[in-house]
Amino acid sequence: MSKSQIRPFKVDIPDDEIERLQRKLRDTRLPGREIVPGAGKNYGPEYQWAANLYDAWNNDYDWKEVQEEINAFPHFIADIEDLNIHFLHARAERSDAIPLLLVHGWPGWTLQDTARIFDILMKNLGYDRYMVQCGDWGHFVGRELGANYTESCRLVHCNFAPSPLPDGVEYTERETAVAARVDDWVENHIGYAVCMRTRPHTIGIALHDNPIGIMMWVGEKYNEAADPKSQKTPFWTKAILTTASLYYFTNCVMPSMLTYYENVRHHNFAEFAMQPENRIQVPFGYTSCFWDTEPSSKRAVERTGNLVFYKERNDGGHFAALEIPEGIIEDVRALATQEWK
């Protein structure tokens, strides 16, 4: 692929689509009360949380303003293997800067496919060697790059890395605390994944033209997978509504679910990381955020690759790059300073 096949892109949602979303929001009826009296958080997000979020979307949120903020960053489209790949790319001013690929997910096919496409993209941007920072499903993209694209992917930093502890070990205080969080997540919060990995068409069609459905589906994870302090910031409401708006405008809520259908299931994450073909061969670092959905510890993660950097943070959760960007930047720089040759 030649560089001429990379072209600038601008987010430009037509006015009639924005107005249609606003009409649908105005025409929505919420239940007006808890459906199960005294439900609290036991049945999902609290009713008042949903009502407040809906009210903010309906009355306060300005898509045009957000679109301008989004377009302040340099967007591009690349044609790779007959696909249009949308990405952001800011070239460093320094000629000796380390190219950094930031990945959180996500296209609805195999993660190995995503890694292959991203490696091609980086090379066509002129980066023969690069570093990866990754979380969520992006961890498995970064793991694939660090395992099988070692000539180009030279360093990996993860803020999500499900990994098994050695058998028979006595848990540390932190391992005990995060194990309780993992157990709660698997027992009470995994329904979304089961649905998407088994019946993506059902839930995909149900949510396709349903903005409040998307708001609840997406917002629940922002509500439950983040540091409680993150959830109390005004920015958090904006982040949820922007994500929901993008899913709605781009018709990609169902395609986003296919990642769950096509790839490793949550209860096999740790086992997957232990397989020899998935072992990270290049040096990699891991930042363990306490409020993540499946926080791991050093002696677990080091079993899955060439771990050379480990940091525990008691703030931040699953959306670490969004919640604690300064902390992630600090850890990425520390790893790069230590290991980039």
- Confidence at residue 212, expressed as pLDDT on a 0 to 100 scale: 97
- The pLDDT tens digits of the residues spanning 64-103 come to 999 999 999 999 999 999 999 999 999 999 989 999 999 9
Helix (H, G, I), strand (E, B) or coil at 153: strand
233-to-51, 58, 91, 290, 306 alpha-carbon distances in Å: 17, 19, 31, 18, 37
Q: What integer pLDDT is reported at residue 40 of this predicted model?
A: 86
| 136 catalytic per annotation | yes
The strands making up 305-317's β-sheet, listed across from edge to edge, are 100-103, 130-134, 153-158, 280-291, 305-317
**pLDDT mean across residues, the chain:** 95
Query: What's the pLDDT at 19?
Result: 98
Q: Which of 104, 139, 157, 318 is catalytic?
A: 318
> Would you call 18 exposed, middle or buried from its count of C-beta atoms within 10 A (0-12, 13-18, 19+)?
middle
How do residues 285-314 score in pLDDT, each as one tens digit?
Answer: 999 999 999 999 999 999 999 999 999 999
Integer Cα distance of 218 and 202 in angstroms? 16
Give the tens place of pLDDT for each residue, 157-168: 999 999 999 999
- 47, 61, 260, 286: which is the annotated catalytic residue? 260
- Ordered by where they begin, the domains of the chain are 76-169+281-339 (3.40.50.1820)
pLDDT the model gives residue 4:
52
DSSP strands (E only) in 11-99: 75-80, 83-88
Query: Among residues 119, 136, 292, 331, which one is catalytic?
Result: 136
Give 4: exposed, middle or buried? Use CB within 10 Å, 0-12, 13-18, 19+: exposed
Q: Which residues of the chain have pLDDT under 50?
A: 1-2
pTM: 0.95
Q: What percentage of the chain reaches a pLDDT higher than 90?
A: 89
Instruction: Answer whether 156's CB lies under 8 Å from 132's CB.
Output: yes
CA angle 99, 101, 106 (to 5 degrees): 170
